[in-house]
Homo-oligomer: A and B are copies of this chain.
């Protein structure tokens, strides 16, 4: 007798992680489809970036659709932690993640969640997804908010060609050099270039971009996406210089730049 293999569901979470307890109590139906909430409520096995955050998420899920099992009966395994931020890419590859996927091989569906947004995009989890493919476990991504694409849409920059480049270097000289490199790349290939920063460095990155880029380059910053207080500003660098921007240092921001093409 063969056991049907379970699926790995990539479960999006709201983007309000870590922005205050009041907000954390907000109705997740503002940013998650009911179909996704139902799917999440039915899962008994999870792999999470952080188990505590995953439990907090499940509590919010259970407030909309009763969980199929009591919280104590739900298994939550944590992803091995890669270094945070700049060095995060690819370092999980050395660890065998197959044990985390064992329930799927026994026929049970597994959910993967990160702290905020879509797992495996600008977030840990891609290595687990890759391992699932190797093991023949079907992977199903569920729809939800992605800060990167919301910021891109709201920027008015080129949604037909864009790149996400992660973090810029912290050191001022290297950061300016990288900003100029991205601007030159954008001028050549027309791509909007998206980047993120640790929230307390939001202002430093904005100031560096405004100081470094060409006056005609378009620069957009989105803060607190999906929050009531969220906003997006998209202007030529010359306009940012004339009217400087202030960014909050406690909510995530996404930055996007696009050079005017000389052609």
Contacts and interface: CB of A to CB of B under 8 A. Distances in A.
Nearest to A165: B161
Contacts of A231: 138
Nearest to A31: B143
Total copies of this chain within the assembly: 2
A30 B10 CA distance: 15
A9 to B, nearest CB: 10
Nearest to A143: B145
A122 interface: yes
A120 B90 contact: no
A89 B190 CA distance: 10
Interface residues of A, number: 68
Contacts of A90: 158, 160, 190
Given A130-B234, A133-B233, A121 B30 contact: no
A120 B127 CA distance: 30
A101 B153 CA distance: 17
Interface string A116-148: 001111110111111111000011111111101
Interface string A190-216: 110000000000000000000000000
A161 B234 CA distance: 22
22 contacts: A10-B150, A10-B153, A27-B35, A29-B34, A29-B35, A34-B34, A118-B149, A121-B149, A126-B156, A126-B159, A126-B160, A129-B153, A129-B234, A130-B157, A130-B234, A133-B156, A139-B232, A141-B232, A142-B226, A144-B145, A161-B164, A162-B163
Given A130-B156, A139-B234, A162-B164, 4 more contacts: A33-B34, A89-B190, A125-B159, A126-B159
